Structure 1
Amino acid sequence: MMKQLHKQSSVNHRRDEETPSTLSSPYSPKALKHPRSLPRSINYLFKEQRLLFILVGILIGSTFFILQPTLSRFGPSDPNSAMNTVSRSFSTAHDLVSKPTHAKVGRVPVGLGKRRLRIVVTGGAGFVGSHLVDKLLDRGNDVIVIDNFFTGRKNNVVHHFGNPRFELIRHDVVEPILLEVDQIYHLACPASPVHYKYNPTNVMGTLNMLGLAKRIGARFLLTSTSEVYGDPLEHPQKETYWGNVNPIGERSCYDEGKRTAETLAMDYHRGADVEVRIARIFNTYGPRMCLDDGRVVSNFVAQAIRKQPLTVYGDGKQTRSFQYVSDLVNGLMALMDGEHVGPFNLGNPGEFTMLELAEVVKETIDSSATIEFRSNTADDPHKRKPDISKAKELLNWEPKVSLREGLPLMVRASPSCHHPNPFLCSSQLGRSLKDDMEGVTGIEENGSSEWGRQRLAGSSVLPP
């Protein structure tokens, strides 16, 4: 019995010794792998020679950019080569970016000779405005003319119709308008006594155009006048002279209106950072000037052409300075393209009495003309002569055409038009045509007097 128990115990003991090795084999830990010496990303580059291809690509690119400036100095050996085309394009772009500009850029990129500017000229169908439009288009700019045709004429700009860089908008600047332009020449304002007494307000147009300049970041040029000096106590007049103006006289609507316009321009410049330029224009004459508009040159020329006596008011010793329109246009453009706010006197310092002017007109048009004296008008300045030393120094501008040279040009260069008197303004055409057609039935319903009323009322009817 004891032997059997001992034998059974021995068998169990051997089974227990064999069991752990058998059972433990499935749970034995895996052998540790040999640790890698490089990160996975670098190891990836070494496989399949990827690093070699990357290095070759970098070498090719570096070689191209090193040799490119040298190759661009030589002419293309093959005009059809894509490589030469890319090289020339890259060189041109580099030159455009690196080339310095000498003008102050600011918000309005003016003074860039090769950049085509978009420019609006208010009153661009008028006497001075139409000549300015001619010069701006000749310079290669895009020009938009805004005019209500109160004193302007479509015939002054009709030669630009069909030009893709010219646009004409019939609009009164007393109402706001939205445009996208680089520069604004603000000339829209009746400048002769006959017209500004009929339409005495000229502040709202300036305010609207200044608001447009502020909104779009355009440079704004205001055409002010020597009338801001009134009947001056300083002679010749410098820009620093404040003037001697009757604020309630018959002429004051124009004088004070321009003084107010200058104030508004400077307020927008100081308060809203609008780039403004101010020109004070002295007496101007030339082709497309309206006759019978109350200004002395046009009055004398009209009377001489009609064989009428030349009317001199007062004793004829009042003095004025007269500049030819081309000189004024050059001055306006020099001011706009310059970097000085102003104001600047733009006029011819050559001074003439009214009697001397009458003699020049007689010599030019009709030597047999007579002179008729009449009583002087109220608030008529006794002397007027610009000091243009500031414009000479800062704008490099001075007038070139003398009165004796310019007056014959004015008479000979009268534009052709359908009406027999090419000098008449739009506001005068209705009255003149009505006088020519007296007695014709239906004139009030369909004729020119109705057209004249529509013209003054601001309708969309254009002159013939």
Structure 2
Amino acid sequence: MSKRILITGAAGFLGSHLCDRFLKEGYNVVGMDNLLTGNIKNIEHLFPIKEFEFFHHDVTKFVHVAGKIDYILHFASPASPIDYLKMPIQTLKVGAMGTHHLLGLAKAKGARILIASTSEIYGDPLVHPQTEEYWGNVNTVGPRGVYDEAKRYMESITMAYHTFHQLETRIIRIFNTYGPKMRLDDGRALPTFMSQALRGEDLTMFGDGSQTRSFCYVDDLVEGIYRLLLSDYSSPVNIGNPQEITLMQFAEEVLALTGSKSKIVFKPLPQDDPKQRQPDITKARNILGWEPKIDRHEGLKRTLEYFKLHI
């Protein structure tokens, strides 16, 4: 009998890719999204598939799904600064109340749950690269605190359910990810640079461009999520690409790839914006046998084709 999985945030960038992957693996997939930042177009191709169901629901309210549930992937949350600065209360609620409701559902169904945490729990890191043992450098009352602390609480309550209720839990810490189905206006570096380059607009660089990021293509990330869910490891695991690049280098790569003549213009660095971001993926390699396979040049080419269709 096919396994049944609930994926929250199903109409979002990552959630929609996860729906595709688990359907391909033979699962019955229940997608759930309140469409606050998700886009129904990301999953409308799945509606004719009988193994797919969709519920338009906000997980900050009580969550009920009839029938058996074997697995839950909790990916519901605003995930870009432009979103969580605009919706700070909703961001905190989905990390706290939403996670609590889904842990309760997992307990009631006897399901294994994987929650999507983030490299942002490390804040503006004082340790480089970031290992899972690093506790972070986070400003709790700064503008980014609503997202960072929501995810830190999410990890804490998940581990509490694991230790107190013996619930099967998995925690992934996601580093910068990109690929098709990203929102063109979500405010992060890649969609911003690529959209601006394709429109012939100046590229907006916050700070001097020396801050670093490590970009992982979405297919690689989904493979890491799949392996972690089916593993027997309950502590947090970093999933990301350890190839570090400055944002200035990244902007120049986007300009070269698009053939754009756009200039780079500089604006002040936002408060608490991390200066460095690079995952230590030793655990992912050793425990999951996972590491990224798709290099950035190939991943950017695939992403560019998507953006060209939607600009």
Q: How does 1:363-378 map to 2 (within 5 A)?
A: 363-378=256-271
Bigger helix share:
1
Match of residue 133, structure 2, among 231, 234, 240: 240
Partner of 2:197: 304
2:233 paired residue number:
340
Quick check: 1:328 aligned with 2:216?
Answer: no
| Structure 2 counterparts to residues 207-356 of structure 1, below 5 A | 207-356=100-249
Q: Please, what TM-score do these two structures have when normalized by structure 2?
A: 0.95
CA distance in 1, matches of 2:179, 2:255: 17
Unaligned runs of 5+ in 1: 1-114, 417-421, 424-464
Count of aligned positions:
304
Partner of 1:187: 75
Moved beyond 2 Å, runs of 4+: 413-416
**Alpha carbons 1:145, 1:169 under 8 Å: kept:** yes
- In structure 2, the residue matched to 1:145 is 31
Shift of 1:367: 3.6
Partners of 1:304 and 1:365 within 8 A in 2: yes
Q: Secondary structure at the match of 1:204?
A: helix
- Partner SS state of residue 252, structure 2: helix
Residues 149-168 of structure 1 mapped to structure 2, 5 A cutoff:
149-168=35-54
After superposition, residues 44-59 of structure 1 pair within 5 angstroms as none
Q: Deviations over 1:169-213 (max 9, x none)?
A: 100000112223100000000000111122222311111101111
Q: CA deviation at 1:224?
A: 0.1
Q: Which has the higher strand share?
A: 2
Distance 1:321 1:125 in 2: 25
- Mapped pair 1:132 → 2:18: yes
Deviations 1:98-117 (CA, angstroms, capped at 9, x unpaired): xxxxxxxxxxxxxxxxx521
Contact 2:2 2:27 in 1 (8 A): yes
Task: Write the mapping of 1:416-435 to structure 2, written as runs, cut at 5 A.
Answer: 422=310
Structure-1 separation of matches of 2:120 and 2:293: 23
**1:314-367: CA deviation from partner (whole Å, max 9, x where unpaired):** 111000000011011000010000110120000000101010000110011134
Structure label with greater radius of gyration? 1
Over aligned residues, Cα RMSD in angstroms?
Answer: 1.2
Alignment partners' CA distance in 1, 2:11 and 2:76: 9
Counterpart residue number, 1:198: 86
Q: Does the Cα contact within 8 Å between 1:184 and 1:220 map onto a contact in 2?
A: yes
Distance 1:138 1:376 in 2: 42
Tell me which of the two structures has the higher relative contact order, counting C-alpha pairs closer than 8 angstroms and 6 or more residues apart.
Answer: 2
Q: What is the Cα deviation at residue 229 of structure 1? A: 0.3
User: Residue 121 of structure 1 contacts residue 129 of structure 1 at CA under 8 Å; is this kept in 2?
Assistant: yes
Aligned to 1:111: none
2:148 alignment partner AA: D
Name the residue aligned to 2:298: 405
Which one is further off, 199-208 or 185-194? 199-208
Deviation for aligned residue 1:306: 1.1
Contact 2:173-2:237 at 8 Å conserved across structures: yes
- Once the 2 structures are TM-superposed, how far is the Cα of residue 158 of structure 1 from its aligned partner? 1.0
Counterpart CA distance in 2 for 1:392 and 1:165 is 32
Alpha-carbon separation, structure 1, partners of 2:290 and 2:231: 11
Matched-pair contact (CA < 8 Å) for 1:237–1:385: yes
Identical aligned residues as a percent: 48
Q: Distance in 1 between matches of 2:267 and 2:308?
A: 32
Partner amino acid, structure 2, of 1:197: L
State whether residues 288 and 415 of structure 1, in contact with CA within 8 Å, keep that contact through their aligned partners in structure 2: no
Counterpart residue number, 1:388:
281
Once the two structures are TM-superposed, the CA of residue 120 in structure 1 deviates from its matched residue by 0.4
Between the aligned partners of 2:56 and 2:221, the Cα distance in structure 1 is 25
Q: 1:415 to 1:222 in 2, by over 3 A?
A: farther
Amino acid corresponding to residue 346 of structure 1 in structure 2: I
Q: Determine whether 1:175 maps to 2:68.
A: no
> Which 5+ residue runs of structure 2 have no aligned equivalent?
none
> Could you tell me how far apart the structure 2 residues matched to 1:116 and 1:261 are?
29
Secondary structure, counterpart of 1:280 in structure 2: strand
